Chains A and B, each alone.
Chain A
Amino acid sequence: MNEYTFPILYGVAAGVLTRLYLLRTDYRQYPTYLHGRTIHIALGAIAAGLGTVAVPAIMEKEFAAITFLALAASQFRDVRNMERNTLNELDQYELVPRGKTYIEGIAIVFEGRNYLVIFVSFLSTLFYLVWDIWAALAASIIGLMTARRFMSGSRLKDIAEVQYVKPHFEGAGLYVDNIYIMNIGLPARREEILRYGMGFILTPKNFNARTTIANLGQRQAILHDVSTALGIYRDSGTPALVPLAKRDLNDGRVGIFILPQVEDVEKAKAVIENVPVLESAIRMPKKRRWKRKGWSGDDA
């Protein structure tokens, strides 16, 4: 026992609690089970330890010890790889795959959260050592809230309007509003599709959003989330029953066609509105600064 024991214990505990708080199993159903969670809690504990001992190391003028934070960075990059590989493997057996963009998004989040844990632990221990446990408690809570804010990105409803439209057929062509989805040859399949299918139109709120929802990964994420939340009328061997999202080339609207097992339009709409906007799908063409004459900074 020395003067650093309690601050270090406190910092590690604060970090692990942050990780646990950020590691909730929600509708995305990942990570679901004990083993997946164990891995992340263990890594969270390592991250917390690294963040914590950095403070006494600085105070003891052991600056060389700080370099192992660099080691931590490579360690957590591996976390990202691990998540990416696992999810990619699993994705092959999903009825409606997540898609690589969504997987990359999840992997980034796992890596990022470990850095947030380091940050919270570092602050907690620092405040404990400089002031007292109450200051440390305040720092942990503020750190946790900041982490939470950083980690919740925007949702689809922030960038697009969602509107229900009943899908219909024109000949063999399946349409959602005026957006062509696919060609269905068999009358029996068409009946099933009209019976179970739902259509939604996403109208982008601005030009940035138009490019973002056009992203194929973002569209696949929407289909995956709806199919996870509401079930899917589909099996292997029925490739015709497939949820799809197609784009209206004229105005950038996206037509979503889904086959949920729960036939509740309001629920489906709510799920679509709450699909996260994927970091890798976000495009900001409006941020481009036009240098030529006649263009303003903010076009569109």
Chain B
Amino acid sequence: MTHEKIILAVITMNGGRVAGGAPIFICQTKEEMEQIAANLEAILDGIAHELSEGLLIIVKH
């Protein structure tokens, strides 16, 4: 089964608000979040999107 778009990873400062199938990275600070998201973006060839304050997802388009 192929997916058009898929959430590859979730990066958040509030682990209690997310759950589910994609790997979740819980960070302490905003800087840490951005750094992890930037790395994941390059590694996974996906785009980091901001859903709300302190919640980023990496999506493969």
Contact = CB atoms under 8 A, between A and B. Distances in A.
A171 interface: yes
A240 B34 contact: no
B42 to A, nearest CB: 5
B61 interface: yes
A185 B56 contact: yes
Contacts of B50: 171-172, 183-185
A237 interface: yes
Contacts of B32: none
Nearest to A240: B47
Interface stretch (A37-45, A81-89, A136-144, A186-194): A186-194
Interface size class, chain A: 10 to 19
Contacts of B42: 237-238
Given A186-B38, A188-B38, A239 B46 contact: yes
A185 B48 contact: yes
Contact of B47 (A171, A187, A239): A239
Interface residues of B, number: 14
A236 to B, nearest CB: 8
Contacts of A186: 34, 37-38, 41, 48, 56
A237 B47 contact: no
A237 B45 contact: yes
Contacts of B48: 184-186, 189, 240
B17 to A, nearest CB: 16
Interface in A190-249: 236-240
A52 B44 CA distance: 58
Interface string B24-55: 00000000001001100110011111100000
Contacts of A187: 34
A172 B61 contact: no
Nearest to B61: A239
Contacts of A183: 49-50
Interface of B: 34, 37-38, 41-42, 45-50, 56-57, 61
13 contacts: A171-B50, A182-B47, A184-B47, A184-B48, A184-B50, A185-B47, A185-B49, A186-B34, A186-B41, A186-B48, A237-B45, A239-B45, A239-B47
Interface of A: 171-172, 182-189, 236-240
Given A183-B50, A186-B37, 4 more contacts: A172-B49, A182-B47, A185-B37, A240-B47
